[in-house]
Amino acid sequence: MINLLLVSLLAIQTQADIQEDLDAGGTVVLPAGITEVDYVTGLGCLFVHSNTIVEGHPDGSTLKLRDGAQDFSRILGINDAENVTLRNFSIDGNRDNQDVQGEHRAGIWINNSSNIHIHDLTIENNEGDGIQSHIDVNNQSYENLYLNNNGRSGIALTGYGIGLKIKDCVFENTDFQAIDHEGFQFDQYYDGEISGCEVIEYPGKPHTWSFVYCNNYLIRDNKIQGMVNILWSKDVRFVKNEVYDGLYAIYLNYNSDNVLIADNKLSNWDGDDVEVVYARGSNHGNHETGGISFQSNLKIVSNEIDAGQNSAINLYSGKNVVIASNEIDYQGDNYPIIVKSTVHNPTDITISGNEITNPNCNGMLAFSGHLGNKIIRATVAGNSATNRYVGFCCGAIMVDEYIEPFFERRR
């Protein structure tokens, strides 16, 4: 069934008229110009059902939240639905003209749905998220979106899901995170790809993108102004991205496994005490065991790293970690690569083939530790540096290490 809504220049459609067409399903063309919508229930102002395509008028369509709408107002709600496509229109949350502020407002809210495809939309000025994909949303794709001035996140993924694609989206002026991707211990995300996206005008924010409990993810060819958080995740490939102006470029924490960080261009924020790649264990415990978290099977290879005053790579914990073939331009006076035995004993650490440029730092590599912790089976070979002190500093208990007696000094 095709329910095609033809809108003339003189026609005026109300929110109720649009909802009637949405209830019929099929293809619904929104009216030209701006249509103001208002709160109906907590699920949304307008509701999209299964087997529906919603598209904008050729002359342009905008759904705009009216002034002074109630809290929890979500402009479009998709709940218990499948096979929904939204394309070629704009959503305006009108956040500057609301009496009640609320982070749970959203441009689009999706729950317990599948085969959801959203592309070529502008979603802006929402008090909460541009898009909130709530719980049990499978096979969802977002392509060629412009998400601007949203108060919490551009896209928030907050529950279980299988199959995610985010491609060629631009995130601008997000108050909190461009992508907030948070699964839970028993509600995890699987099989995702994020590519060709750009985050701009985001200096100094703590976490630009968060990936929590994400499994089998490819994150590639993105340009990110800010920071990337990877926690409790497995089988993640973070490749060919540019990350800059963040507190860290990549913050890897809490029991992640099989993570590849390769062929990226990473730089710090304004030279302020930044660790560009930071893999850290924690004594705060993890959700599964309540014990100490630990990184394993981590590869940091073939990256271009422009580091500020702190370290380029600061490894607090890890098992089976390879740091190899990175080009590091280090602007500080400490050590560009630091391996620390703090809560854990880092084990099976290989540092090889890295090239480090800086004439002023104390040395190329530091091993440090305290409270009797050890660094076990560390191999350091084939690295080169231009710094004054080519060797390394060791303040840790080393077990079964192989350290080349002299590093090659490049001239």
Mean pLDDT: which of 199-208, 333-342, 378-387 is highest?
378-387
Question: CA–CA distance from 329 to each of 271, 277, 304, 316, 356 (Å)?
Answer: 12, 13, 8, 21, 6
- Write out pLDDT tens, residues 121-157: 999 999 889 999 988 999 999 999 999 999 889 999 9
Predicted pLDDT of residue 390: 59
Split at pLDDT 50, 70, 90, the class of 44 is confident
- What average pLDDT score do residues 353-365 get? 80
Class of domain 15-409: mainly beta
- What average pLDDT score do residues 66-88 get? 91
Q: What percent of the chain has pLDDT over 70?
A: 81
Between 193 and 315, residue with greater pLDDT: 193
How is the chain split into domains, by residue range? 15-409
- Write out pLDDT tens, residues 194-248: 999 998 865 555 557 888 888 999 999 999 888 888 888 899 999 999 988 777 7
Predicted pLDDT of residue 100: 73
**Amino acid identity of 10?**
L
142 close to 119: Cβ distance less than 8 angstroms: yes
Q: Say how many C-beta atoms besides its own lie within 10 A of residue 151's C-beta.
A: 20
Residues 6+ apart with CB under 8 A from 10: none
The pair of structure tokens assigned to 152 is 């919490």
The pair of structure tokens assigned to 36 is 């103001």
Query: What angle (nearest 5°) sits at the alpha carbon of residue 107, between those of residues 102 and 109?
Result: 90
Predicted pLDDT of residue 318: 82
pLDDT at 280 over 60: no
pLDDT at 308 over 80: no
Predicted pLDDT of residue 286: 31
Residues facing residue 300 across a β-bridge? 261, 323
Between 19 and 361, residue with greater pLDDT: 19
